[in-house]
Each structure stands twice: as C-alpha cells, then as structure tokens.
Amino acid sequence: MGAKDTSIAAQSGFDPAGEAGREMRDTGVAPGGELDVIEIAGAIKWFDAGKGFGFIVPDAGGPDVLLHVTCLRRDGYQTAYEGARIVVEALNRPGGLQAFRILSMDETTARHPSQMPAARTHVQVEPTSGLERLEVKWFNRVRGFGFLSAGEGHPDIFVHMETLRRFGITELRPGQFVFARYGDGPKGLMVAEIRPDGWGDGPSSH
C-alpha cells in the first residue's frame, strides 16, 4: 500500500473534482468520447471513502485499477471493503485503468476493519498510562500512522493503522478526540489501546 498507491492516482491524471471526474460522473464516458472498455476481475486492495477512491488488484496481474466513489454509488454500493471480490468494466486511459461500471461485488471474502487480526507488522507496546482523552494531531491513512497529543508541552504519541484496526476504528481526523492507553516504544511513546471518544465511561483527562 503506501505512497505507491497514491502515485497511481496522480500519474493517471484523474482528478475527482476536476473536468475528467465530472464527465465520468455525468455521462460514464471517458473524456474525449472514446471508449476502450476492459472487463476485470480482482480484489479490493483498499478503499477510503473519505478520500473518495481506492484500488483493485486484478487477478490477471498488471497495474492496480482506480476505483472512484462515484462509480461505486452509481451502481448501488456505499463502500468497498479490503479483500472483497469485484468484477468491473474499466476504461483504459493513457494514465492507467479506471473502473467505469461495477458488474458484481462479493463481500464474503472481505476483511471488515473490526475483523482485522492483531497487528503483526509493527511493534506492540505494553500500556504504562491510564485511559486518557487525547487529541489527534495528524493522521495519514495511506502511510498508515499518525500522532496523538496530550496537550502542549507533552511529547507526541505515535499510533499505527493496525492498532486502529484491532479496535474497530478505520480512520482518524486531526482535531478529533479519542481515548487511549500508551507505553514506551523503541522511538518514543506509542498507542497500545485506542477507543472512540464517548466510549464507555472513559475519564476526561483534559
């Protein structure tokens, strides 16, 4: 995942808010009127409803296919979960393939965020703090991490995407508050447990 995925969108020249995006939303036809449609079966690599797009990994190999939220919603879907099986018609544009129509989607193989397994690819820490109400300072879902803040004068607290998934949270927004326990990691404080604001009877520390 990571930066490679966003570069595909950038290289394709597809701007969801721009002329190309509007034309595909309004008519379903690629800018310029020409159609070079390919049927592709694959799996959802990731989809971010907040950003409005995601990517499909084709079964036959080759580059990822851009999947835009307007394509999803036009065909009756609200989102796409990682691992879901999907068959689409894609437009072969100069910058890459872009899904144009969803023919089918099977979510039986999907990994809902709340069902993600325990984190395995990053260091986990034992909490040394109590459950504190912290503010999201910065978070990047594509890069897979961010930082929480206990207030001015306190060190930032690192939070990994896989920790979010373990506790059923899909994304964080700057300025949002959460409850978390944290401990000492190899490079500083790291979140060990995280819950949404208002969860249970969590104390307000600020």
Based on the number of CB atoms within 10 Å of its own CB, is 165 exposed (0-12), middle (13-18) or buried (19 or more)?
buried
Q: Report domain extents, the chain.
A: 3-109, 114-196
CATH number (2.40.30.30, 1.20.120.550, 3.40.50.360, 2.40.50.140) of 3-109 reads 2.40.50.140
Statement: the pTM of the whole predicted model exceeds 0.75: no
Tokens for 51?
């950003």
The C-alpha angle 119, 125, 128, rounded to 5 degrees, equals 140
pLDDT by position in tens, the chain (length 206): 433 343 334 434 444 444 444 444 444 444 444 567 899 999 998 888 777 888 999 999 888 899 999 999 898 888 888 889 999 999 987 778 899 999 999 988 887 655 544 444 456 788 889 999 999 998 887 778 899 999 888 899 999 888 887 887 877 889 999 999 999 888 789 999 999 887 654 444 44
Full DSSP string of 88-140: EEEEEETTEEEEEEEEEEEGGG---GGGPPPP-SS------S--EEEEEEEEE
The C-alpha angle 32, 46, 145, rounded to 5 degrees, equals 120
CB within 8 Å of 122: residues ≥ 6 apart: 160, 162
Domains 3-109 and 114-196 agree in fold: yes
Class at the top of the CATH hierarchy for domain 114-196: mainly beta
